[in-house]
Structure 1
Amino acid sequence: MTDATDASPAALLQPGRNCWTITRADRLAVIIDADEYFRAAHRAMLAAERRIMLIGWDFDARVALVPDEESPDAPTRLGDFILWLVRRRPDLEVFVLRWDLGALKSIFRGSTWITVLRWMRHPRITLKLDGAHPPTASHHQKIVVIDDSLAFCGGIDITSGRWDTREHRDDDPGRRNPGRQPHPPWHDATTALDGPVASKLGELARRRWQAAGGALLPPVRQRTVCWPEDLQPSIQGVSLAIARTSPEYADCGAVHEIEQLYLDLIGSARRHIYAESQYFASRRIAEAIAGRLTEPDGPEIVLINPVAAQGWLEPVAMDTARARLHEALRRLDMRARFRIYHPYTAGGAPIYVHAKVLVVDDRVLRIGSSNMNNRSMRLDTECDLVVDARADGNEHAAEAIAAVRNSLIAEHLGCRMDDVARSLADTGSLIGAIEALRGSGKSLRPYDRPDLSAVETWLADNEILDPEGPGGIFEPLAKGGLLRRLRFRRNWFRGRRARAPGE
C-alpha cells in the first residue's frame, strides 16, 4: 500500500484507490444543519423540469421543508410538495429510493401510508425500497439530484427529528417532529453542488436505482438553472472526488474507497485533523490515528461526537467500542494530541452530532454520509465528497476550507469565527484554541470516559498494554471484531478441556 504521507499533492486522490472519480463543481456550498438544507432543497426542486431523484436512508413525507408562511403558493410538506410539483410540471418525473428495512417501520408513521399510496398511484412518481444489500446492511447514502444539474450530497436525511438551526436554541419551537413532539438538538451537514459533479452524482443515483431493481434511466440532457438564489457558494470552480462504500452483493463487487480515503487523509495530515462523526468505532481508523500519535511531530486530532448513540442497540455496540478505542489511544497519546468533545446547548442539553465531516490542515474537506464505524467502511452503501486544495487549480479553496472548519468550531463553542481563527494563530494548536475558547453555556465538553473497570480488564486480557508497535494495540481487534481474541481464548480452552489426555 502506498504511504499517503509520501504521496505528491496531485496523487492524494486516486480513482480506483480512494475515490470513484474526480470531477468538477462550478459551485459548492457547505450546508450546516437541516433548517438551511430543507429550505435550499425546497427552492431547488421548485425549478425542476425533468427529473428529481431522492436517494436516502429515510424520507418522511410529513416533514415540512419550510414554514407555511414562506411558501404561500406551494405546499411545504415533502409528500404534498412532490405531488404538487409533478402536477404542475407535465414532463417532470420523481424517483424515490430508500432503505427497505427502515421503511417497514416508517411506513406507518401518522399519515405517511396515505401519501405513499398517493405517490404510487401517480404515473410519474416511482417509489422503490432498496434491498440490494447483504443481511444487516443498510442503504445509507443521502443524495438528491435535480435534472442532473444540481445535487445535494452529505449526511442529512429529509426525515423527522433532523430539523435544527445552527444556534441550537433550547426549546426552539421549530424543533418538533410532524406529530408536534419536541426532539433533541441536532447537528448535521451536507453540500449543494452544480456543474459536472451533478451529472456524476446523477449517474451514481441511477446506478443505485438500477441495482435496487429499478429500470435503466437515461441521463438528463437538458440543463436546468436550479441553484437557489440566496444560497451562497463556499467554493467556486473546484475539482473534487466522489468516494463510495458498497458491500459485495449478488454480481456487484465490494467497493471500499471511503475506508482507504480515511486512511490516506489521516496519513497525509501535517498539523491537525478536525472531524465530526456520529460514531467512533472503526478499528482501522483508530489504528491509523494510533500510528500518527506515536510520531514525535504528528498532527493533533479532534473528534466531535454525540454524548451517546441513539437507539437501543447502538449505545451498546458503538459507545462501548468508542470507550475501548479511546482508552487504547489514550495510553499511546503521550503528547496529548487526541481529543474527543461533545457539543452542548446554552442550557446544557447535549446536541446530537449526525454530521460526517473531516478537515485536514487547511487543505482537505470531506463531507458525506459515512461515519467512523465499520458499517460505513465495509457494509452499508455510502457516498462522500472530498476537495483537496493542493490539487492543480484548487489553491483558492484553502481559505474556504479553513473557514468551514472555523465556522463549525465557532458554532459548537458559541463564539465567532474570528475568535477561532485568532485563537488558532495565538496558540498554534487546534486543541489549544478549543481549550482557550471553551466555557460555560453553549460549548464543547471533553469526552467523559465511562466506568473503565470492564475496559481495563479487556485491555489486560487482550495484551493491549504491551504491544509490539502502534498497530499492535489493535491487532486483537482484527478479523472478528473487538472481542475476537477473547472469543479465541475461550474457545481454545474449551477445546483443550474437550480433548482426551495425550491428544
Structure 2
Amino acid sequence: MSKNGNTDPSRVSHLDPSVEPGVWRYAKATRASVIVDAADYFALMQEAMLNSRRRILLIGWDFDTRIHLERGRRWWQRPWKRGYPSRLGSFIAWLARHRKHLDIRILKWSVGALSTIGRASMWWDLTRWFRHRRINFKFDTAHPVGCTHHQKIAVLDNQVAVCGGIDITDQRWDTSEHKEDDPRRTTPRGKPYRPWHDATMMMEGEVSLALAELGEDRWTRAGGEQLPEVADRPGSPWPSALEAQFENVEIGIARTRAAYRDWDRVNEIEQLYLQQIARAKRFIYAESQYFASRSVGEAIIDRLQEDDPPEIVIVHPCHADGWLEQQAMDHARAELVRAIEEADAKKRFSIWSPFSGETAIYVHAKIMIVDDEILRIGSANLNNRSMGLDSECDVFVDSTRDGNGHAAEAIASLRRKLLGEHCGLDEREVGQLLSRYGSMAGLIDHSRGDGTRTLRRYHPPDLNGAQRTLAESALLDPEDPDDMFEPFAKGGLFRKGSRLARFREKFRRIRET
C-alpha cells in the first residue's frame, strides 16, 4: 500500500497469497454492522454514496438501473423535494453531476449482460452514463467458460466497504417483516414478487483498503485500466442512520477464484468452511441460497457421527430460483440431505424454509454463525460452484482471536435476531425460548411467533431415476470448470473414492443388515 492507503500498481492483479489456510487477509475495522434485508441496505447505501467524495467502486453479479433505492414515497415526497432521485440509474448520473471529484466504477458479470436485453430503459441509462467521463461501467469476462463473477463488494472512498449477498438489482428489495403481500415489493414493470431475505455487512477502516485492493484487482483482471489513487478526505461516508454492531474488531477475508489464464485457483472459502464446521462445539446456524456442496456435506457427516455432535441448523429456500437452478440444486440437495440424515443418529441436523403465511420467503443470504463466537457473511453459498468455480468473497469476525472478545455478544444478538425474524418473535423471546427448549430446532418446533412468519422443516422428496442421475452427476454444480464438459467422468456428488460415497455405502449396508 502507498502511504495514503492506495494499492501499489505493481501489485494489482497479483494479490498476496493466503496469510493462512482459508484466509486471504486480516484487517481492522473501526466499526462494522450486518444489514439484514435490502430495504435497509438500499437506503443506507444511498446515504453512503451521497457521502462519498472521491470514489465509488461497485462490484456485483448484477446491477439494474431501473430499481428505486427507496420505496413507498407519497405523492408529495417527490425526488426534487429531496434534491436527488431514488431510481438507481438517475441517481448515479446525479452523483456524477453534483460530486465534481467523484470517480464511479461499476463492474457487472458479463453473462449478466443478457439480462439487460429486456431492460430497455437500462440501455438508455448506460448511454447517459457513457457521456459522463467519471462514470465507468464494465462487464467482467475474466473467468473460465461456465463460471460466474459472483462477488458483491462496494468500496466508498477507500474508507467504507460492503461485502455480502445483496446485489443492487431487481427483486431484492424487501423489509424484515417479509409481508406476504407488500404493495411496495414490485419489479420496475409493476409486477409483484415474493418475499426475499438477504444480508450484507458494512465496514469502515483498514478492512476497506483490503477490499479496495481486491476490487481493483478484479477491475484490472476484467480489462480495466489501473485505478488512480484516492485522495485523502476528511470524514467518512459511513451512513449516520447505521448504528455500529462491532467496533475495533479484526475482520478476516476469504476468496474463491477458478484457475484462469496464468492465475492460480483460490479456494480459501472452502477451506474456511471446513475449518469452522470442524471447530464448532455447541452449534452451527447457517443461511444459504443453496445446499449442495459435497465437501461441506462430508464435513457435516463427520461431526454428526461424534459422541456429542453440535446442533446444525440451516435456513434456505423451498426451491431454487428458476427451472434450471432447480434441476441443478434441488435434486442435489435432496440426495445430500438424505445422506446426512442417515448419519444423524442423534438427530442434531435440521434444515428449514421460511414462510410468510402460505408464501415461501426466498433466502438469498449467505451467513454462518458458530457457537456465537464466529460470524461469517459473504457471497458464497453452500454449493460446489462457490467452493471452486465462481469468484466469491466472504468476511468473518472470530471473537476468539486476540482483541475480538467484545464481539461475541453482538454475534449472539444477530443469531437471535435472525431466528426471531424467521419465527415472528422478538429477539428477547428467542433468548428465553432457546433456554427453555435447549436447542434451535426445539425453539422452531414449539414457537408460533406472530402466526405469520414460520420455519417449516425440509424433508427430502423421493427422486425418479433421471432426477437422481442428474443430482449425482453435479452436471450444473461442478467442483471444477473441466467437470462441466465431462460431468460423469469423476462421478459427481458421490464420486468414487469420496468420503460421501463411502458414507452412503456404509449406511446402505447397515440398512440391509
Which residue of structure 1 lines up, in the alignment, with residue 352 of structure 2? 341
Residues 1:150 and 2:160 are matched in the alignment: yes
Which deviates more from structure 2 when the two are superposed, residues 100-109 or residues 195-204? 100-109
The alignment of Structure 1 onto Structure 2 pairs a total of residues equal to 458
SS in 2 for 1:315: helix
Amino acid at match of 1:109: R
- CA drift at 1:70: 8.1
Query: C-alpha distance in 2, partners of 1:110/1:232?
Result: 38
Structure 1 segment 372-383 matched on structure 2, within 5 A: 372-383=382-393
Which residue of structure 2 lines up, in the alignment, with residue 79 of structure 1? 89
**Given the alignment, which residue of 247, 251, 255 partners 2:262?**
251
- CA drift at 1:222: 1.2
- CA drift at 1:121: 2.1
**Given the alignment, which residue of 45, 51, 59 partners 1:55?**
59
Residues 1:295 and 2:306 are matched in the alignment: yes
Amino acid at match of 1:166: S
Amino acid at match of 2:61: W
Query: C-alpha distance in 1, partners of 2:100/2:364?
Result: 37
**Given the alignment, which residue of 185, 202, 207 partners 1:192?**
202
Preserved contact between residue 324 and residue 455 of structure 1 (Cα < 8 Å)? no
Structure 1 segment 15-164 matched on structure 2, within 5 A: 15-67=19-71, 68=73, 69=77, 72-164=82-174
Structure 1: gaps spanning 5 or more residues: 1-13, 463-476, 487-503
Which residue of structure 2 lines up, in the alignment, with residue 236 of structure 1? 247
1:286-325 C-alpha deviation (Å, 9 max, x unpaired): 0000000000111010000100001121101100000000
- CA drift at 1:170: 1.6
Query: C-alpha distance in 1, partners of 2:268/2:415?
Result: 24
Amino acid at match of 1:256: N
Preserved contact between residue 335 and residue 460 of structure 2 (Cα < 8 Å)? no
SS in 2 for 1:165: coil
Preserved contact between residue 287 and residue 367 of structure 2 (Cα < 8 Å)? yes
- CA drift at 1:480: 4.1
Which residue of structure 1 lines up, in the alignment, with residue 329 of structure 2? 318
Structure 1 segment 484-495 matched on structure 2, within 5 A: 484=495
1:13-55 C-alpha deviation (Å, 9 max, x unpaired): x724111100011111110000000001100000111110110
SS in 1 for 2:136: strand
Preserved contact between residue 331 and residue 468 of structure 2 (Cα < 8 Å)? no
Which residue of structure 2 lines up, in the alignment, with residue 474 of structure 1? none
SS in 2 for 1:243: strand
Amino acid at match of 2:331: T
- CA drift at 1:484: 4.6
Query: C-alpha distance in 1, partners of 2:231/2:255?
Result: 25
Preserved contact between residue 16 and residue 257 of structure 1 (Cα < 8 Å)? no
Query: C-alpha distance in 2, partners of 1:255/1:247?
Result: 6
1:450-480 C-alpha deviation (Å, 9 max, x unpaired): 125659987xx99xxxxxxxxxxxxxx9944
Which residue of structure 2 lines up, in the alignment, with residue 497 of structure 1? none
Preserved contact between residue 331 and residue 467 of structure 2 (Cα < 8 Å)? no
**Given the alignment, which residue of 439, 444, 449 partners 2:460?**
449
1:181-228 C-alpha deviation (Å, 9 max, x unpaired): 101110000011101111111111101000111011144241441111
- CA drift at 1:441: 3.1
SS in 1 for 2:329: helix
Query: C-alpha distance in 1, partners of 2:85/2:136?
Result: 20
SS in 2 for 1:80: helix
Residues 1:267 and 2:278 are matched in the alignment: yes
The change in CA–CA distance for 1:84 and 1:107 in structure 2 (over 3 A counts) is: farther
Root-mean-square deviation (Å) = 2.2
Preserved contact between residue 245 and residue 383 of structure 1 (Cα < 8 Å)? yes
Structure 2: gaps spanning 5 or more residues: 1-17, 474-487, 498-513
Query: C-alpha distance in 2, partners of 1:116/1:370?
Result: 29
Amino acid at match of 2:57: M
Which residue of structure 2 lines up, in the alignment, with residue 176 of structure 1? 186
TM-score w.r.t. length of structure 1: 0.87
Amino acid at match of 2:319: A
1:349-393 C-alpha deviation (Å, 9 max, x unpaired): 000000000000110000000000111000000010000000111
Query: C-alpha distance in 2, partners of 1:485/1:242?
Result: 33
Preserved contact between residue 29 and residue 192 of structure 1 (Cα < 8 Å)? yes
SS in 2 for 1:396: helix
Query: C-alpha distance in 1, partners of 2:172/2:268?
Result: 28
Amino acid at match of 2:368: L
Query: C-alpha distance in 1, partners of 2:200/2:20?
Result: 24
- CA drift at 1:281: 0.5
- CA drift at 1:482: 2.3
Preserved contact between residue 35 and residue 165 of structure 1 (Cα < 8 Å)? yes
Structure 1 segment 451-466 matched on structure 2, within 5 A: 451-452=462-463, 454=465
Preserved contact between residue 267 and residue 288 of structure 1 (Cα < 8 Å)? yes
- CA drift at 1:93: 1.0
1:59-81 C-alpha deviation (Å, 9 max, x unpaired): 00011011453852111111111
The change in CA–CA distance for 1:70 and 1:186 in structure 2 (over 3 A counts) is: farther
Residues 1:331 and 2:330 are matched in the alignment: no
Preserved contact between residue 143 and residue 152 of structure 1 (Cα < 8 Å)? yes
Which residue of structure 2 lines up, in the alignment, with residue 358 of structure 1? 368
SS in 2 for 1:331: helix
TM-score w.r.t. length of structure 2: 0.86
SS in 2 for 1:391: coil
Residues 1:282 and 2:293 are matched in the alignment: yes
Amino acid at match of 2:70: V
Query: C-alpha distance in 1, partners of 2:373/2:366?
Result: 17
Amino acid at match of 1:270: K
Query: C-alpha distance in 1, partners of 2:466/2:93?
Result: 53
Query: C-alpha distance in 1, partners of 2:468/2:171?
Result: 38
